[in-house]
């Protein structure tokens, strides 16, 4: 049986190496995320300030996977 995934929206606040990012969630938690394979293979660029969709496990709420780039947050 597959485990259920939690999907939330977040805001990219820091870019790390190897496709890792720090993402600020709506509830003010900062989690460590990596890019999913589909985004990596499609050469989609994720930059600071982008709003992304995150998939997290029920068991570890401090790590996640970026599954979709929603849009750029204009300041």
Domain ranges in the chain? Answer: 5-69
Question: 13-72, pLDDT tens digit by residue?
Answer: 999 998 899 999 999 999 999 999 899 899 889 999 999 999 999 998 899 999 999 977
The C-alpha atoms of residue 12 and residue 72 are separated, in whole angstroms, by: 10
User: Residue 73: its pLDDT value, please?
Assistant: 61
User: Residue 74: its pLDDT value, please?
Assistant: 65
- What's the half-sphere exposure (Cβ side, CA atoms, 13 Å) at 25? 18
pLDDT band at 75 (very low <50, low <70, confident <90, very high): low
Distances in Å between the Cα of 24 and the Cα atoms of 3, 40, 42, 60 are 24, 21, 24, 16
The CATH superfamily label for domain 5-69 reads: Nucleic acid-binding proteins (2.40.50.140)
pLDDT band at 1 (very low <50, low <70, confident <90, very high): confident
């Amino acid at each position: 049986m597959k485990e259920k995934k939690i999907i939330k929206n977040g805001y990219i606040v820091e870019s790390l190496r190897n496709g890792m990012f720090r993402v600020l969630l709506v509830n003010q938690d900062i989690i460590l995320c990596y890019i999913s394979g589909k985004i990596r293979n499609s050469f989609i660029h994720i930059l600071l300030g982008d709003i992304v969709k995150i998939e997290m496990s029920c068991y570890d709420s401090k790590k996640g996977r970026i599954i979709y780039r929603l849009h750029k947050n204009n300041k």
